[in-house]
């Protein structure tokens, strides 16, 4: 069980990385959420401007409760902005709104990683929720039931798809941020000094996705080691 020792040894930095990313995004957003933009545009107004620039008048903007719960729903063609973004004219709000508008643009231009991520959603949800349990149950019953290890391998395979979802999310999120910064710069929605603040907000947000991917990779390795260990004992 040598990998149990490494599991706990590696778990601490993974948890610290995730915690640091969460603290950083909240503190960075809070800082730039207190600085208003010179032109006074709210997050909703900035998003609408960007969407119209790309002939996406069909994309509606709606509110959603909470903070940093902003997201684009490609099934309904709706960009949902949280309370802390929609009506705020802060640098942080405009940056976040532009990022979500970037996702709408990705959908409109059929950005390949975005399409791949969308195709992975159903199996990734199943893999994330059921994969680890199937792997463990499969190993437990493998001592008495012949096809136990088959169930364990199915669980591992399902979680692989969950990890792939996290992995392909990275280029999708980075690209949305890049689009947002470029549009905010070219359109003049944000002044150059304001753009620096928006970049910091989006960079901090991107690190949370990196942290999630690292955590998913760590879990995948852990599940794989358990399954492979069960096979050796079989």
Q: Give long-range contacts, CB 8 A cutoff, 24+ apart: 155-158.
A: 155/130, 155/131, 155/223, 155/227, 156/131, 156/223, 156/224, 156/227, 157/127, 157/131, 158/123, 158/126, 158/127, 158/130, 158/131, 158/134
Total domains in the chain come to: 1
Residuewise pLDDT in 10s, the chain (234 residues): 445 566 677 788 889 999 999 999 999 999 999 999 999 999 999 999 999 999 999 999 999 998 889 999 999 999 999 988 999 999 999 999 999 999 999 999 999 999 999 999 999 999 999 999 999 898 888 777 778 899 999 999 999 999 999 999 999 999 999 999 999 999 999 999 999 999 999 999 999 999 999 999 999 988 898 888 765 555
CA distances to 66, 93, 201, 209 from 15, rounded to whole Å, are 24, 28, 22, 14
Residues in the chain: 234
Catalytic residue status for 100: yes
Catalytic residue among 62, 67, 100, 146: 100
What is the reported pLDDT for 55? 97
Give whole-number Cα distances, 86 to 66, 70, 201, 204, 223, in Å.
11, 9, 16, 20, 41
CB 166 within 8 A of CB 213: yes
Print burial letters for 117-146: b (CB count within 10 Å at least 16), e (below 16). Answer: beebeebbeebbebbbebbbebbeebeeee
Q: How many CB atoms lie within 10 A of CB 213?
A: 17
For residues 228 and 31, is the Cβ–Cβ distance under 8 A?
no
Domain residues for the domain of 148 are: 2-233
Tokens of 93: 């709000």
Per-residue pLDDT at 1: 44
Q: β-strand 60-64 against 78-82: which pairing, if any?
A: parallel
Do 82 and 65 form a contact (C-beta atoms < 8 A)? yes
């Amino acid at each position: 069980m040598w990998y149990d020792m490494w599991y706990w040894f590696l778990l601490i930095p993974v948890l610290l990385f995730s915690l640091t990313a969460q603290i950083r995004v909240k503190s960075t957003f809070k800082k730039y959420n207190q600085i208003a933009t010179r032109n006074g545009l709210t997050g909703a107004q900035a998003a609408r401007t960007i969407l119209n620039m790309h002939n996406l008048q069909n994309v509606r903007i709606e509110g959603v409760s909470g903070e940093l719960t902003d997201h684009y729903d490609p099934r309904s063609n709706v960009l949902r902005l949280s309370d802390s973004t929609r009506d705020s004219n802060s640098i942080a709000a405009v940056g976040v709104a532009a990022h979500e508008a970037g996702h709408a643009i990705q959908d409109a231009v059929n950005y390949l990683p975005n399409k791949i991520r969308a195709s992975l959603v159903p199996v990734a949800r199943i893999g994330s929720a059921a994969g680890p349990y199937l792997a463990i149950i499969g190993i437990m019953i493998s001592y008495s039931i012949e096809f136990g290890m088959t169930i364990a391998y199915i669980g591992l395979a399902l979680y692989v798809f969950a990890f792939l979802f996290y992995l392909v999310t990275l280029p999708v999120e980075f690209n949305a941020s890049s689009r947002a910064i470029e549009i905010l710069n070219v359109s003049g929605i944000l002044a150059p000094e304001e753009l620096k603040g928006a970049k910091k907000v989006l960079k901090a947000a991107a690190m949370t996705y990196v942290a999630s991917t690292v955590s998913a990779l760590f879990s995948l390795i852990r599940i794989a080691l358990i399954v492979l260990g069960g096979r050796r004992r079989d």
